[in-house]
Structure 1
Amino acid sequence: MAMAESPGSTSTSRAKVVLDWWCRHSKACIHGTHMPSGKTNMAGDVVYIYAFMNSIVVLNSIEAISDLLEKRSGNYSSRPVRTMVQELMGWDWLFSSMPYGNRWKVKSSLSLRCVLCADEKHQRHRNLFQKHFPINGTSEHHPLQINQTHALLRDLEHSPAEFSHHIRRTAAANVLDITYGIHIDEKIGENGDDYVKLATSAILPFSRAGIFGTYMVDYIPALKYLPLWCAPFRRKAKEWRKPAQALVNRPFEVVQTKMENGTATPCIVAHELDDIALGRGTADLQVVKNVAATTFAAGADTVVSALQSLFLAVALYPNVQDKAQKELDRVIGNRLPVFSDRYQLPYIDCICYELLRWNPVTPLGLAHYVSENDEYRGYIIPKGTTVFPNVWAILHDPELYPDPFAFNPDRFEDNVTAQGPSASGVNEIPNAAFGFGRRMCPGRWFAFDFLWISVASILSVYRITDATNVNGHPIDLTGELYSSTILSHPLPFKCQIEPRSPTAKTLIEETNMEA
């Protein structure tokens, strides 16, 4: 497998971006681009890498991604088994990483009587998730999302310097309440509530180890059998396994205990456990536990990155904040925004889309797996190849998004106000941020709703500017701004966050009556 024979400069730069990124952040050596057919090419929108008997393809254009992950989704919808993360670190419950298709079976550890195809296993998890987060049914969660956003506004007034932590608390509180019926106190210290710390302690190692090839055991799975004394990666995995297992078990057990005591509050887990007890549920206990934990893990981290980026972006581009606040003042006046305002606030939509494009949460996407041999552009893609959609390259392609490194929500105005996609194909809504084909994020509507109400509410009452040093000069926010892990977040930075006016301060304080 290789890329096109005569790539242009844009394709070459895209390939260079992903190869430079890969080589910086993979601990393993990359053994060139040897093709099974003997052909080699290092540039283009389809890059082939051969590393330790592993075939890897990186897709750097929306055309290649559409051709393979969308139009041939049946062959590209599975996930590779990542030995470090799934087997050693204990993240095998994360249904977004479960295989899809017939390439392996999940068998009972006691007998062969229970045989479940991987595609059926994944689909059962996805069906349960979509039951509670349907395409057109996320509005039932709007009251909670508004309440949690108002709690965030109060937190920002109380301790603005801890804005990054407050965002994490709000995101975790949102999904904990919906999924487990667990309410966490907003008035928490710098290190956070136990559940916030639990999510962080589990997700940070996952984010670091989640890039395929970071640990050699991903290339050579047999290394997992090395004794602990000579395998530092196994010792790390053993330690990191503890919070990953606590994430899936601890909140679930809280719900079970409350149900036994008759004190459980309505939530997804309680609803499903009731159905199982009454014999009307279609999901078993383990599926419920897995889906709940996946919801917690994803909801507690992915939107966090976009909201952290908001503070960085408007500090760097104050004109964006000015335009948003003029729109908010014109539409909502002296109150806080609600979801019914959305169609009158198109620029807030534009900001949300630009946050997802400017720094996608998963820059290299989530890996796909080729279930059967395939042919593309005259080259063979072998069965078992790991395929990465280079989301970052696509969303920073100057042909699709002019001046791609600038934070410019205006680029989406025509698409947001139009009834359909842009005829020019330029500045399309960045759906690539949510994945591709059959593995597109099933919670994207819920996540976008939460992002939208948070952005609208924050900008309606707060002014965000550069922080200043001891001499009163603005602190430079340029340079390397984001982490280089599978889940990308802004590196720690400072900014000033102040209520826009006495009226804004009053609106923030009045939300206390809701708490």
Structure 2
Amino acid sequence: MDNDNSNVLSLLTYTCLALGGMFILNKLRKIGSRGSGLPPGPPTLPLMGNIHQFPTEYTAVKFSQWGNEYGGLFSLKIGPGTIVVVTSPRFVKELIDRRGTTTGSRPHFRMLQIITDGLNVGMMPYGPTWKNTRKAIQMFLTKEACMRHLPIERAEAIQLLYDMIKQPENTFTHIQRHATSLILSVVFGVRSPRYENSTVTEFIEVQHEVEALLEPGAHPPIDLMPILEYIPERWASWKGICRGLRTKQQELYFRLRDKCEARIRENRRNGSFMESLFDQQEKLGLTRDIIGYIGGVSLEGGSVTAVSHLQTFVLLMAYHPEIQAKAHQELDQVVGQRLPTLEDYDHLPYIQAIAREVHRFYPAVPMGLPHESTSDETVGGYFIPKGSTIFMNIYGIYHSEEHFDEPEVFNPDRYMQSEFGTKPGADTTGFRNDLHFGGGRRICPGILLGDIMVSMNVMNLLWAFNFEATDLEKRDPRIPIKHTDFVSGLATGPNPYKCNIQPRNQGIEDTIRDEYTLSRPIFSMFEHELSDEEKTFVKNW
């Protein structure tokens, strides 16, 4: 009898183990697989999903290829995690714009959490802290606030022209200095009159390191496979890199914050955004650390995108003399020899078309910043589970053959023929002229300031200069510029290039020199903390 009981017990034990093993195997089998109802996508492998196919650079280009194959809404599996990629303006409107309450959060980004202590408002999850900081940022980005900063915006744009007259071979860094110094002036109340050995170079070096680290596919998928976080640091170099970037970034942002605070105490205000934040710190419930990061994130968002756009613009102009000729003709008719004003821009439709086509041809942030769904959604008959990471593939939307004729060709005339540059008969549902600024509740709050910077500089540069490519032995200008001519990263821009830049005539050159001299009183309001070396540079320059 005892033997019978023992046999039964053994049988039950083995049965339970077998059932348990089958249950575990079934669960493991589902990890990495594309569940029922998800948007289509490339075939998956058990446990891994699509991790073996995930691009490590130029992510937007690969996602665009998958978008052409699987449709404007497709999915990827990274272990148990789900990524949904939107490569259709119609789905942007449906999923990101109209359902911003459930798709307006950000995914947990462990590496960025380490770098920023979770204080980066651009990547902060939706919640009370994000709403409070977003409100603070919007305070200085109203139309009225942006107009108050117009004098320094105009002055910095004039220095860019002046710098390019004096050292045209350094145009690449002149653009970086211009955009970064302008945002430093508006946000922190301090400018950098030169590129070398300044806050500009310090910021650019740190920002490039952060962008390279955060590009999708450039690092292990820690957030979708959390077990990777437990790998010892000797085999996980990203941990040390993150801590090093945190030290560099906070030293820069907090130093700029402290200098602004000191100017307030000494009654040396110049109308910067940070002054407004300190004035309303108690009302808005802001800590000093988050004030520093609000300023830092504003610097990142404003300068990085402007640098990318203007460097791309100059590159494209250098290889398209026929486009320059049409632009020069329009500017000569409307503006003449005087320096253009912002009011002129409304009367320059071809200049507007060029600026829009630069955004379309290579957007500064090709994949946007990732969203996260905070509840289950159904869009276009597809199931989007809670916790999905959602990418808005801006590059893919702007390079869709369904919507654009010859999307790989730079052609501003497309915007002279239709509002969104789309080909005749194309479905424009969901299109808007600011798609490159993102969508939903996370659309960039700096749209107006960014548009002013782009409008003013594209207009000024075309009014002032002739651009000519000088490395023709490396490139036939009849061959379209490729994505490999651009830096791979979360934010991008062209690789360094050479071009010949000359003032269009002596009268224009004289006007620029005179306007630069007249701008000195405006610059001086933002030059309280210049080093002795920088003071000498300003005097001699």
**1:373 corresponding residue in structure 2:** 376
Q: Distance in 2 between matches of 1:135 and 1:423?
A: 35
Equivalent residues in 2 for 1:176-187, closer than 5 Å:
176-186=184-194
**1:92 corresponding residue in structure 2:** 118
**1:390 corresponding residue in structure 2:** 393
Higher relative contact order (CA 8 A, sep 6+): 2
Q: Give 1:359 deviation, angstroms.
A: 0.2
Q: Give the one of 32, 39, 59 matched to 1:3.
A: 39
**1:72 corresponding residue in structure 2:** 99
Question: CA, structure 1 residues 463+72, in 2 after alignment: closer, same or farther (shift >3 Å)?
Answer: same
Q: Distance in 2 between matches of 1:68 and 1:340?
A: 36
**1:25 corresponding residue in structure 2:** 57
Question: CA, structure 1 residues 475+25, in 2 after alignment: closer, same or farther (shift >3 Å)?
Answer: closer
Question: CA, structure 1 residues 136+436, in 2 after alignment: closer, same or farther (shift >3 Å)?
Answer: farther
Q: Give the one of 302, 306, 309 matched to 2:305.
A: 302
One-letter amino acid of the counterpart of residue 171, structure 1: A
Question: CA, structure 1 residues 495+91, in 2 after alignment: closer, same or farther (shift >3 Å)?
Answer: farther
Q: Distance in 2 between matches of 1:447 and 1:19?
A: 36
Q: Give 1:358 deviation, angstroms.
A: 0.6
RMSD: 3.0
Q: Distance in 2 between matches of 1:52 and 1:498?
A: 54
More moved, 343-352 vs 455-464 = 343-352
Q: Give the one of 245, 251, 271 matched to 2:276.
A: 271
Ranges of 4+ aligned residues in structure 1 off by more than 4 Å: 18-22, 279-284, 414-418, 422-429, 473-479
Equivalent residues in 2 for 1:155-234, closer than 5 Å:
155-186=163-194, 188=195, 192-216=196-220, 217-234=222-239
One-letter amino acid of the counterpart of residue 257, structure 2: F
One-letter amino acid of the counterpart of residue 176, structure 1: L
Q: With structure 2 as the length reference, what TM-score do the two structures score?
A: 0.79
Q: Distance in 2 between matches of 1:372 and 1:265?
A: 45
Q: Give 1:257 deviation, angstroms.
A: 2.5
Task: Pick the structure with greater CA Rg.
Answer: 2
Q: Give 1:259 deviation, angstroms.
A: 2.7
Residue 141 (str. 1) matches residue 149 (str. 2) = yes
SS in 1 for 2:55: helix
Equivalent residues in 2 for 1:380-419, closer than 5 Å:
380-414=383-417
**1:496 corresponding residue in structure 2:** 500
Contact 2:86 2:391 in 1 (8 A): yes
One-letter amino acid of the counterpart of residue 90, structure 1: T
More moved, 243-252 vs 449-458 = 243-252
**1:152 corresponding residue in structure 2:** 160
SS in 1 for 2:324: helix
CA offsets, 1:97-137, max 9 Å, x none? Answer: 1111xxxxxxxxxxxxxxxxx2x211111111111111565
Q: Give the one of 108, 111, 123 matched to 1:81.
A: 108
Contact 2:141 2:449 in 1 (8 A): yes
Give the unaligned 5+ runs of structure 1.
Answer: 8-17, 31-40, 101-117
Q: Give the one of 445, 450, 468 matched to 1:447.
A: 450
Q: With structure 1 as the length reference, what TM-score do the two structures score?
A: 0.83
Q: Give the one of 507, 512, 516 matched to 1:512.
A: 516
Q: Percent identity?
A: 25
Contact 1:55 1:386 in 2 (8 A): yes
**1:45 corresponding residue in structure 2:** 72
Q: Give 1:436 deviation, angstroms.
A: 0.8
**2:361 corresponding residue in structure 1:** 358
Contact 1:346 1:416 in 2 (8 A): no
Q: Distance in 2 between matches of 1:370 and 1:19?
A: 21
Question: CA, structure 1 residues 417+373, in 2 after alignment: closer, same or farther (shift >3 Å)?
Answer: closer
Contact 2:371 2:389 in 1 (8 A): yes
Question: CA, structure 1 residues 406+185, in 2 after alignment: closer, same or farther (shift >3 Å)?
Answer: same
**1:255 corresponding residue in structure 2:** 260
One-letter amino acid of the counterpart of residue 84, structure 2: V
CA offsets, 1:458-515, max 9 Å, x none? Answer: 111110011147xxx6854645311221101111111111111111211221123222
Q: How many residues align?
A: 461
Equivalent residues in 2 for 1:319-330, closer than 5 Å:
319-330=322-333
Equivalent residues in 2 for 1:312-351, closer than 5 Å:
312-351=315-354
Q: Give 1:322 deviation, angstroms.
A: 0.8
Q: Give 1:287 deviation, angstroms.
A: 3.9
